[in-house]
Amino acid sequence: MALAPSEGDNGFLTASEILEMKLNAELVVLSACSSGQGKITADGVIGLSRCLFAAGVPSVIVSLWSVGDDSTKFLMSKFYKNFKSGINKAQALRQAILTTMKDYSDNPYSWAGFTLIGEAY
């Protein structure tokens, strides 16, 4: 994962570094393209979301494929507005997707790839 670099740090956060952390976050949103993909093993898909779960994060929102910048910005702004209003994570994402569907109905790839993994509440 690429973050803003700081002095003495290149800004890259690897899966192994995440596994060593204890994160105190209710939700992590990975709204970049294909953030829900990972290596398929006998134990399932191993990717950033699985590493975040191991580090203590109960819920992760990911995209399952490449998504557009404009539609993602629109969807995420609706998600955060919904979530901030007090509804649970799953309903906030669902409502954001339904709203985005109206404005981007000609291209389901713009909104259908986002999913919540983990706890819905």
pLDDT for 14-70, tens place per residue?
888 999 999 999 999 987 644 544 554 444 445 788 889 999 999 999 988 888 889
Interatomic CA distance for residues 55 and 65, integer angstroms: 24
Q: Write out pLDDT tens, residues 66-102.
A: 888 899 999 999 999 999 999 999 999 999 999 999 9
Is residue 74 a part of any domain in this protein? yes
pLDDT at 77: 97
In a domain, 8, yes or no: no
In a domain, 86, yes or no: yes
Structural domains of the chain, count:
1
On whether the pTM is more than 0.85, the answer is no
21 in a domain, yes or no?
yes
Which domain range does residue 72 map to?
A: 15-118
Q: Is residue 73 a part of any domain in this protein?
A: yes
Pick the residue with more confidence: 59 or 9? 59
